Structure 1
């Protein structure tokens, strides 16, 4: 009997698991895979979907070095094997090796992109492995010659005495291998103001918009190579709050804001990618001064209801972040630019003063996204806006006017009821202010909204970005 432990190795992410094997006169028993205990000890929650067994008739059967595009959890059902791994991933650890003898008391977690090889040390050995993607005929992946002397693998049985397949004998040496690239990032809604802001933060990401990938089209979804992605950023949304109250708008809002995120949540679990979804403080009715992440949703209008439904759907995925945000400002037409234009034109507008919240600049939203991923923050929902005191739309407009050289008093405060008179509008939450305590606990400190506003207007070049 031994304690369950997890040990690191020189290869990043390659972990040796010492299993708790219980023996008596009848034989032995072990928990070969125990998700709760192993994850608590540091093993990735990798979501296995297939179990394979490789039976090897004779001592000296040697397989590898194969670099499959999935994670593996390897152990033996009986006997002993010598196992060796080579890091075949792009990066500074490329070519790093590790080896260990595996008997029923040892298992190894092998991350995607690490080449693995096994040599049986006894007759009649069966080793078993869990993988988190289904094997597909014709799948190509890098392979490496077992006898590459640059690796220094100390095979217990000389390779010229072993049973090795013709295919493995033909594998190239390390200097001729193309390293395995990491899984890709996909930005959905790449042409929107948030999607455009995400692009420089995630360089090299695949970029799609609704015209290229309709997540409500089952055939289009089935044809997309989701297995190629490790991260999907869903920046697509229907944001026409008032138009969502119309028959056509209602259907479009629910398709974009609820159905599409639900599809992505299902795909995230099927293919193991991390899903980042962007939501809105509109999921709340605005009757609480400071909204927290665990407040029950209470949406008012159709847009708000569709966003709340999307939040709930994404929350079912094992690997998800929902970033709830408010009053987003980025490239393109937005409230700040409208106020700046009116200030420059000498107009003195009427602006609502009884709706309060904080601006969220897309630069802050993308910075928070990168932070959560980089620090591997716990999955879940996070509020995100710029920091500082809650302000009304009228107060923000006044701040823009002052930065434009006008007086804040040139903005006339009015009530929501006054603004809505004679118009067909969706209801708005009176308070859009959200607590930032949860994301702050991950080490993220938001930039004050008024500091960000000053920087935004100072750095805006209307000629280069006219707001279209």
Structure 2
């Protein structure tokens, strides 16, 4: 019997992501009405905005019609328009909850959100039951499915009507037992820019699980005309864009300007379209160069973009287009140091060779080590932090490039006073070719990422650990 007058309420179940929902149903002598899916209200109540693309109805004449257990590679919003069902759901995804069972009766005043990879089945409890479901992908012969036998002894579902007494299709009768089910892997993660220093740190953080892919430009060029069909994008849950054009000075040339806009703006726009259309979370790595560096204190995520040069302008454009994706993390960082050639290793090499360098002393910021940047990205993805823009750098007292150079000299056993401060103008005076403008203040506020539960490492301590690891590798 349909219950009228319920308040909209969402209840978690033992299966992660499987959400039971009480629906308000309004009725009188003429019948009843309900909002079966109302995006604004239901998202506000705590349901994910899962982006349905198709509505299906399965009409069942008789009591006891039994269907399942099917785990499809999409999310389903299950309810009934008329009648009543006993529903049974079994987690068939890889992980600790594989095999977990949840059951409930569903009538017009109750619905359930079934996440991708959770096996779905039901048995009708009334004649003329209309079973309805919204899905967020179209059927494809290339999609990966998993099935479980309705009579599986491990799941041990307590069907209200014994299976020997009900109508079951030949296909459903032939499904395997739980021990023979191939668990459904997570949606794929694609890391772009896998050959760069952040890409290598992301590989170390994410590992080589089968569902994680690493791609260089040779593997997947964002310029290709068929990018939208280059992958079955519905199989992907996350794209991490660690690729970028970073030749700051060359970006001021005609050829560099074109390359920077292509990689940092047009490429991000292509990814944003794919992510938005396929329900993918887009992680886009950005830069302090989206600001002009004239602010007196640390830049927050909400400060207006004011890039100075072409590189900064293209990164700002990429930021803006990335934020159009419903599920996005724009991660702004500064002064990145990782595996490969970088400022810290250059200074260490100069110190070892007895060189007394002139280093810019009027640009202020904090170092960011790629291990930490990768850790923050993984944190945002695994904790389900609110989507948006996050600053991620090392913590602690801001330094100038000259201060960092002196710290490198000191930590490698050399005289810090060998480093001489110069202004930006003095450093680039007489240099051949274009010189891009640099922000003088690159300090980024870390309040938002800290509030999300991630603690940045002190940049000075990280520098010391980085140099110690380099020395250990060399010895």
Q: Identify the TM-score tier after normalising by the shorter chain.
A: over 0.9
Q: How does 1:108-123 map to 2 (within 5 A)?
A: 108-123=112-127
Q: Distance in 1 between matches of 2:62 and 2:405?
A: 79
Question: In structure 2, which of residues 26, 30, 48 is the aligned counterpart of residue 26 of structure 1?
Answer: 30
The answer to whether the aligner puts 1:212 opposite 2:219 as a matched pair is yes
**How far apart are 1:132 and its partner, in Å?**
1.5
3-state SS of paired residue (1:167): helix
User: 118-127 vs 345-354, which deviates more?
Assistant: 118-127
Q: How does 1:318-467 map to 2 (within 5 A)?
A: 318-423=326-431, 424-461=434-471
The answer (yes or no) to whether the contact 1:81–1:122 under 8 Å persists in 2 is yes
3-state SS of paired residue (1:266): helix
2:129 maps to 125
Question: For residues 324-381 of structure 1, what are the alpha-carbon distances to aligned partners after superposition, in whole Å with 9 as ceiling and x for unaligned?
Answer: 0000000111111111111110111111111111111111111211222232211100
User: 1-10 vs 34-43, which deviates more?
Assistant: 34-43
Q: Distance in 1 between matches of 2:348 and 2:154?
A: 64
2:161 maps to 157
Question: In structure 1, which of residues 243, 250, 255 is the aligned counterpart of residue 257 of structure 2?
Answer: 250
**How far apart are 1:35 and its partner, in Å?**
2.2
Q: Distance in 1 between matches of 2:61 and 2:381?
A: 45
The answer (yes or no) to whether the contact 2:66–2:121 under 8 Å persists in 1 is yes
Question: For residues 212-231 of structure 1, what are the alpha-carbon distances to aligned partners after superposition, in whole Å with 9 as ceiling and x for unaligned?
Answer: 10112121442222222222
**How far apart are 1:257 and its partner, in Å?**
0.7
**How far apart are 1:69 and its partner, in Å?**
0.7
Q: Distance in 2 between matches of 1:92 and 1:392?
A: 47
1:106 maps to 110
The answer (yes or no) to whether the contact 2:251–2:260 under 8 Å persists in 1 is yes
**How far apart are 1:89 and its partner, in Å?**
1.2
The answer to whether the aligner puts 1:304 opposite 2:312 as a matched pair is yes
**How far apart are 1:320 and its partner, in Å?**
0.9
**How far apart are 1:2 and its partner, in Å?**
1.3
The answer to whether the aligner puts 1:72 opposite 2:80 as a matched pair is no
**How far apart are 1:115 and its partner, in Å?**
0.4
The answer to whether the aligner puts 1:4 opposite 2:14 as a matched pair is no
3-state SS of paired residue (1:63): strand
User: 260-269 vs 319-328, which deviates more?
Assistant: 260-269
Question: In structure 2, which of residues 288, 292, 306 is the aligned counterpart of residue 281 of structure 1?
Answer: 288
The answer (yes or no) to whether the contact 2:190–2:236 under 8 Å persists in 1 is yes
Question: For residues 386-415 of structure 1, what are the alpha-carbon distances to aligned partners after superposition, in whole Å with 9 as ceiling and x for unaligned?
Answer: 011111111111111111222222111111
Q: Distance in 2 between matches of 1:178 and 1:224?
A: 23
Q: TM-score with structure 2 length normalisation? A: 0.95
3-state SS of paired residue (1:77): strand
**How far apart are 1:95 and its partner, in Å?**
1.3
User: Closer, same or farther in 2 for the Cα pair 1:454/1:24, shift >3 Å?
Assistant: same
**How far apart are 1:140 and its partner, in Å?**
3.8
Q: TM-score with structure 1 length normalisation? A: 0.96
User: Closer, same or farther in 2 for the Cα pair 1:321/1:128, shift >3 Å?
Assistant: same
- Matched positions, count: 465
Question: In structure 1, which of residues 40, 46, 58 is the aligned counterpart of residue 50 of structure 2?
Answer: 46
3-state SS of paired residue (2:90): strand
**How far apart are 1:50 and its partner, in Å?**
1.6
Q: Distance in 2 between matches of 1:432 and 1:148?
A: 60
User: 43-52 vs 97-106, which deviates more?
Assistant: 43-52
Q: Distance in 1 between matches of 2:155 and 2:365?
A: 59
Q: CA RMSD in A?
A: 1.6
The answer (yes or no) to whether the contact 2:228–2:274 under 8 Å persists in 1 is no
Q: Distance in 2 between matches of 1:219 and 1:4?
A: 43
User: 182-191 vs 139-148, which deviates more?
Assistant: 139-148
Detail structure 1 runs of 4+ shifted over 3 Å in the superposition: 137-140, 461-465
**How far apart are 1:94 and its partner, in Å?**
1.4
1:266 maps to 273
The answer (yes or no) to whether the contact 2:73–2:235 under 8 Å persists in 1 is no
3-state SS of paired residue (2:20): strand
2:64 maps to 60
Q: Distance in 2 between matches of 1:357 and 1:459?
A: 23
**How far apart are 1:464 and its partner, in Å?**
6.4
